[in-house]
Amino acid sequence: MYGLTVLWAIPLGKYIATVFKPGSANGPLERFIYRVGGIDPTREMTWKENLVALLTINAVWLALAFVLLLFQGSLPLNPDGNPSMTPDLAFNTAISFMVNCDLQHYSGESGATYLTQLVVMNFLMFVSAATGIAALLLIIRSFLPKVVDTVGNFYVFFVKAITRILLPISFVVALLLVINGTPASFDGKDTIVTMQGDTVNVSRGPAAGMIAIKHVGTNGGGWFGANSAHPLENPNYFTNIVEMVAQVLLPIAMLFALGFLINRRRFTWVVYGVMTLGMLCLLIPTLVTEIHGNPAIAQLGVSQPTGAMEGKEVRFGPLASAYWSILTTIISTGSVNSMHDSSMALSGTMELLGMMTNAFYGGCGVGFLNYYYYLIIAVFISGLMVGRTPELFGRKVEAREIKIASIVALLSTLLVKGGVALAAWVFINYGDADWVVKPSAWLNNPGNHGFSEMLYEFTSANANNGSGFEGLGDNNFFWNYATGIVLILGRFIPIIGPVAIAGLLAQKKYVPESSGTLPIDTGTFGLMTFAVIMIITALSFFPALALGPLAEYFSLN
């Protein structure tokens, strides 16, 4: 499955590079969109102006999404008669989809309408993924020798990311899903009487298109509550492969595209190597522990021929479920084909680590942006170690850049651990507060696992991942607002930071690389970057992991 992904990612990367090469032509569809949008595609902008453009259009989407969700119950295309969202839930959901996270505190069957699924969720999935890709393209000039003030045009990158990449690939994926039985029609719920005589409502809807972009754009928000574990959302082993490949494809392809665009293939391969090494470190323990099954169930005396099965589907089995659970957490998709809350304690640790690093492949475009600030820190530390001026592609990395990179790195720790601390404090001191869900009833599991549920929620929000330990009672005022704020900071700070660093670097004097330069396209430097990523993550999060899944692991074995 993985080999298949890489095999397609390389030519796709080449194609993406030609789409975004400076001066590449615009087709009739793009010209139409620019004309209606009132955009001059030839206009070059500075990094600051590009960021303003990016943030402005995101604000427009947020407002639109919020209003629609708030009134969805009274709007058309609501065959199941689902209610409008409460303000706190609408706040959380609108932000969550705008930032490419897709944390869902509602269930698609009962909490959204066909109108909002299409105009809010499906729409934001496309545009948020395109925003990520465009943001990555904004840093490319800083890798090239020319000294520049302008870094390109956000709108052009954004529009082309949709018309040339996201829409065509999603369409193909949607067709494969439809052929295999995923619904696509606008009919509402159906009522049937089962063979045992139970009357059951079956939710349906125009789901296939959204499920396609949910993976292609590394979004992850499900049409149905159970996400890709739902048999209509992911009907069989073949569609499981399709969805799996679709979500990993662009993160890897973007990396190769970057290599072609800046003409440094060796550097790309080193980055790819580091990311793959990171993936394997998380994947292998997860596979082993899931196949091994749950030790507590083994004690009850039943056989576990296929491994741990709680929260898993028979048609996928633990192997494909474990593989999915790691890939979806490292690349920020956050769709699930098994319930992570029920995965083994060690797997839970690995899923959390995947989101905490968030740079092993990472989300559409933003994966490399996360890697980029680790890279800046690695360049700086190695520069100090060997006594040379830290440089990145012929540009001096100085105090200002390091400050930005460090703030970005530290902020995620603050958001996650600060959030969990606040939640734990409320849980303990205000357990009986008169909220929709009493804090004392938040957790679905006692002890360390309950702590993990809160840790997972904030980690997922900060990483813009969107998967969850879904046992958490999260549709209430506290979680909707708290994670909403974390979501927005966890999205835009890691975009603004790297784009600012790159914009600053691009304006600096270019000094050709010489024997005095620290080479960054070697295996040694790759290992150095890997070490930096691991050390920062371990220092930031190890105490929290020790209290949650690690403690559970040791108590189970």
Partner 1 sequence: MKTHIIPAIRLTLVLLVILSVIYPLVVAGVGRLAPGGGKGETVTVNGKVVGYTLVGQKFTEDRYFNSRPSAVEYNAAGSAGSNKGPSNPDYLKTVQVRIDTFLVHNPGIRKEDIPTELVTASGSGLDPDLSPVAAKIQVARIAKTRGISADRLTKLVDAQTTGPLIGLLGPSTVNVLKLNVALDALK
Residues in 481-540 at the binding interface with partner 1, rule: CB under 8 A: none
Binders of partner 1: how many residues, by CB under 8 A? 116
Buried b (16+ CB within 10 A) or exposed e, 395-404: bebeeebbeb
- Between 90 and 443, CB nearer to partner 1: 443
Q: Which of 10, 75, 178, 489 binds partner 1 (CB under 8 A)?
A: 178
> Any idea which residue has 């992570």 for tokens?
340
CB atoms within 10 A of CB 63: 12
Q: How far from chain centre, in Å, is Cα 490?
A: 11
The single residue among 18, 42, 185, 389 that binds partner 1, judged by CB under 8 A, is: 185
CA 54 to chain centre: 18
Q: Which of 3, 28, 302, 514 binds partner 1 (CB under 8 A)?
A: 302
Taking the least distance from each CB to partner 1, the nearer of 452 and 537 is 452
Query: What is the distance between the alpha carbons of residues 462 and 478, in angstroms, rounded to a whole number?
Result: 16
Of residues 15-44, those binding partner 1 (CB under 8 A):
32-33, 36-39
Residue 151 three-state SS: strand
Of 226 and 274, CB closest to partner 1: 226
Q: Which is nearer to partner 1, 230 or 395 (CB)?
A: 230
The residue within the footprint of partner 1, chosen from 240, 333, 382, 462 (CB under 8 A), is: 240
End-to-end CA distance of the chain, in Å? 31
Report the site for partner 1 in 206-225 (rule: CB under 8 A): 206, 208-210, 212, 224-225
* Residue selected from 26, 46, 276, 306 as contacting partner 1 according to rule CB under 8 A: 306
Is 3 among the residues that bind partner 1 (CB under 8 A)? no
Q: Site map for partner 1, 332-371, x if CB under 8 A?
A: ----xxxx-xxxxx--------------------------
Answer for which of 27, 81, 83, 181 binds partner 1 (CB under 8 A) is 181
Binding of residue 192 to partner 1 (CB under 8 A) = yes
Q: How far is CA 292 from CA 306, 318, 425, in A?
A: 8, 10, 36
What is the smallest separation between the CB atom of 433 and partner 1, expressed in angstroms? 23
List C-alpha distances in Å: 295 to 31, 85, 291, 292, 298. 60, 41, 11, 8, 5
Per DSSP, what are the bridge partners of residue 46?
Answer: 150
Closest to 311 (Cα-Cα) out of 287, 326, 294: 294
Q: At what angle do helices 237-262 and 317-330 cross, to 10 degrees?
A: 30
Say which DSSP state 24 is in: P
- Tell me which amino acid residue 282 is: L
Distance of alpha carbon 101 from alpha carbon 220, whole angstroms: 7
Taking each helix axis from N to C terminus, what angle separates 345-357 and 317-330, rounded to the nearest 10 degrees?
A: 30
Q: Which residues within the stretch 137-156 sit at the binding site for partner 1 (CB under 8 A)?
A: 155
Nearer to partner 1, 313 or 401 (CB): 313
Residue 126 is a binding residue for partner 1 (CB under 8 A): yes
203 and 109 Cβ atoms separated by less than 8 Å:
yes
Classify 202 as helix, strand or coil: strand
Q: Which of 7, 200, 280, 284 binds partner 1 (CB under 8 A)?
A: 200
Is 237 one of the binding residues for partner 1 (CB under 8 A)?
yes
Task: CB nearer to partner 1: give 186 or 542.
Answer: 186
CA distance 363 to 16: 16
Q: Which of 98, 159, 245, 375 binds partner 1 (CB under 8 A)?
A: 159
State the Cα–Cα distance between residues 545 and 523, nearest whole angstrom: 30
- Residue 205 Cβ, how far from partner 1 at the closest point, in Å? 10
Question: Contact region for partner 1 (CB under 8 A) — 93-101, 270-278, 297-305, 528-536?
Answer: 297-305
User: Which residue, 306, 100, 298, is CA-closest to 218?
Assistant: 100
CB 281 within 8 A of CB 527: no
> Scanning the structure block, which residue is given the tokens 């997972």?
456
**Closest CB 369 distance from partner 1, rounded Å:** 21
Q: In sequence order, what are the residues at sequence separation of 6 or more whose Cβ sits closer than 8 angstroms to the Cβ of residue 356?
A: 412, 416, 459, 463, 537, 540, 541
Q: Which of residues 422-461 bind partner 1 (CB under 8 A)?
A: 444-449, 452
Of 300, 509, 514, 516, the residue at the interface with partner 1 (CB under 8 A) is 300
Binding span for partner 1 by CB under 8 A among 57-65, 351-359, 430-438, 507-515 = 57-65
Of residues 316-335, which lie at the interface with partner 1 (CB under 8 A)?
A: 316-317, 320-321
Nearer to partner 1, 343 or 357 (CB): 343
Rounded to 10 degrees, the C-alpha dihedral 400/406/407/412 comes to 160
Q: Of 253 and 346, which CB lies nearer to partner 1 in the complex structure?
A: 346
Pick out residues in 66-125 that bind partner 1 (CB under 8 A): 80, 107, 109-110, 118-119, 122-123
Q: Provide, rounded to whole angstroms, the least separation between the CB of residue 148 and partner 1.
A: 21
For residues 313 and 391, which CB has a smaller minimum distance to partner 1 in the complex? 313
